Amino acid sequence: MLWNGTCKATELYVSVFDFAPFGERDDQGNIVGVIPDILTEIEKETGLVIKRKIVPYKRMIHELKTGDCDFSIFYRSPSSDEIASAEVRVFALRNVVVGKVGTDLLWYQDLFEHTIAVPSGARYFPKFDNDPRLKKSYTRGFSSAIKQFLTGRVSLIVGPDALINYHLQKEGKKTDILGEALFLNYRAAWMQISHQSPNMTPEIREKIINGIKTLHNKGIITAIMKKHKVYNRKYLTE
């Protein structure tokens, strides 16, 4: 294992993708964000101890593959299904393409006359991801995409609308600068258990799944999303 300390029967290890506001370190070095807050609530609900750390996305995938973490919370994909089992949906985000006021996107073909900021490596919707007719400007991270959008280097940006709103507020902008968005889809983040997890028993697995469902029923996950300003009215909770 890559973690310090000795594993106990009820201890689990979770790698959190380094992507604000879902997971990051604050100025004091503390692990904070949407997912760490959810993990804390899972601990309260289940009595389990969850050790966590912040890692880049590729590192998280590697640790799921090797079993150096027991589970993570992130978007499901065909490649993640090869290394982990998606057990329960934790939250979902609404993916859109949007421009500034005056640029209203009513139809998919409206995208063809614009350049769109796209965080490198991000996947949103198969038709959009693979369409060679679209003019895309790939950026290093979501904050860079927002900066290109605000400075006028591109006229549109793609991503979860709650995340776009979050980064606009970080840049001191209000969301009323945005025009009518084109909806792409809802995409869910799942609790995904490593196929190589050395600590996950059927009993612990069931306890976590039931704990997450209870958090949904109590409205706790919605409250966490609102706290971090990434709430967008509809989450998949079943």
Check residues 101 and 9 and name the one with the higher pLDDT: 101
pLDDT of residue 234: 40
Q: What angle do CA 63, 66, 69 make, to 5 degrees?
A: 45
pLDDT of residue 127: 95
Give the residue-averaged pLDDT of 62-90: 96
pLDDT of residue 204: 96
Shared fold status for 11-92+187-227 and 93-185: yes
Helix, strand, coil content of the chain in percent (nearest 5): 35, 30, 35
pLDDT of residue 229: 84
Domain at 11-92+187-227, CATH class = alpha beta
pLDDT of residue 10: 67
What confidence category does residue 183 fall into, taking pLDDT thresholds of 50, 70 and 90? very high
| pLDDT digits 0-9 by tens, 121-168 | 888 999 999 999 999 999 988 889 999 999 999 999 999 998 899 899
Residue 214 CB coordination number (10 Å): 14
Bridge partner residues of 236 (DSSP):
none
Residues of the chain above pLDDT 90, percent: 81
Distance of CA 3 to the CA centre of its chain: 23
d(CA 35, CA 27): 18
Return the sign of the alpha-carbon dihedral for residues 56, 62, 68, 71: positive
d(CA 72, CA 14): 6
Domain ranges within the chain, ordered by starting residue: 11-92+187-227, 93-185
| pLDDT digits 0-9 by tens, 190-238 | 999 999 999 999 999 999 999 999 999 999 999 999 999 886 544 333 3
pLDDT > 50? residue 26:
yes
Mean pLDDT over each residue of the chain, to the nearest integer: 91
CATH number of 93-185: 3.40.190.10
